[in-house]
Amino acid sequence: MNTRGKQKPVLFAALNWGMGHASRSVPLIRALQEKGIPVILASDGVAAELLRKEFPELYIHELPSYQVRYDTDNIYWNVLRSLWSILSAIWAEHQWLRSFLRSHDLFAIISDNRYGIRSSRVPSVLITHQFRFLDPGNGRTGSANGQ
């Protein structure tokens, strides 16, 4: 906690990929508010709309959409077909954050699966529901506990 002057805010960014990311973020955002920590929100689409309804007093910064298309029943094929738009959105949200940080002094960043919302200058946390993921560095799968 910042003991000198006003508490720095936390930036909370939720992915718009179904309602799960935004809905599970609501109790976390409320917990931050209950502790007196100011929160700045960032999202897009229906996730942003849900957050606007839950937190009408908070401003929500609009982030680029990952634009995943669900043309088939195969999630892997859908993600692969949308990979360019996903990577473009990650790059764009990271550029947005770099610009945002020039005018905002944050206590921390919490990102629910928004991979471009992280910074080496501010403590950053990634919330995910994935137990195993593909590590692009070595092409193997890994898990949260390193196995």
Give the domain extent around 49.
10-129
- Inside any domain, residue 5: no
Q: What pLDDT is recorded for position 3?
A: 46
Arithmetic mean of pLDDT, 128-138: 58
Q: What pLDDT is recorded for position 130?
A: 63
Q: What is the CATH number of the domain that holds 57?
A: 3.40.50.2000
Q: What pLDDT is recorded for position 60?
A: 95
- Inside any domain, residue 84: yes
- Inside any domain, residue 119: yes
pLDDT level of residue 132 (50, 70, 90 thresholds): low
User: Whole-angstrom Cα distance, residue 112 to residue 129?
Assistant: 9
User: Whole-angstrom Cα distance, residue 43 to residue 45?
Assistant: 7
> By three-state DSSP, how is residue 19 classified?
coil
- Inside any domain, residue 109: yes
Rg (CA), the chain: 16
Does residue 137 register a pLDDT over 60? no
